[in-house]
Structure 1
Amino acid sequence: ESRYAESYSDSLPDFVKLAEAYGWKGIRIERPDQLEDGIAAMLAHDGPVMVDCMVAKLANCFPMIPSGAAHTDMILQANEVSGTMDDEAKALV
């Protein structure tokens, strides 16, 4: 129902540089074709890694926990999302 949740990118730090400032590995993934290599680099690194993975504003990120729900109610795939929120659920958002 067009209730998007995201970070306002213009106000955020450069997470790759932030990670490097702490001596960690920083990885930025900006396009889908970079995802596999980014994940492989993260898993191959021996130490802490911060991954800044950009997604389209309209994209839903899964898995997700619906507002007000328990972790056992986690939605794993987009095809598990159905219906609309009632007024009680909207109040939790």
Structure 2
Amino acid sequence: MPGQFGKDEHIAWRSVSGEDHAARLETARLQNTIAARIAAKLRSRGLTVKDYAALAGVGYDRMLKVLRGDVLMRLEDVSDAERLLGGITCEKAERPH
């Protein structure tokens, strides 16, 4: 898995045991999915991670670490990605009128 994180939504994961490890694994899987979607959007738009970091108002070093899975992604990272790139999270639920 090292080196694959954030490059593809479907990567091989090690099996883990224990509730705490399972929760951490699911968190890592979710961050990988979002990071891979961000990377795909950047490629399709001809943007670099440096470009994206500037658009998001985040330091380049931190953005690299987030997309590689070295640091935890924050909700604001997800929100920024959705706002700036679109199509990152699942479709928004319809709101009642």
TM-score normalised according to structure 1 size: 0.25
| Higher CA-based Rg | 1
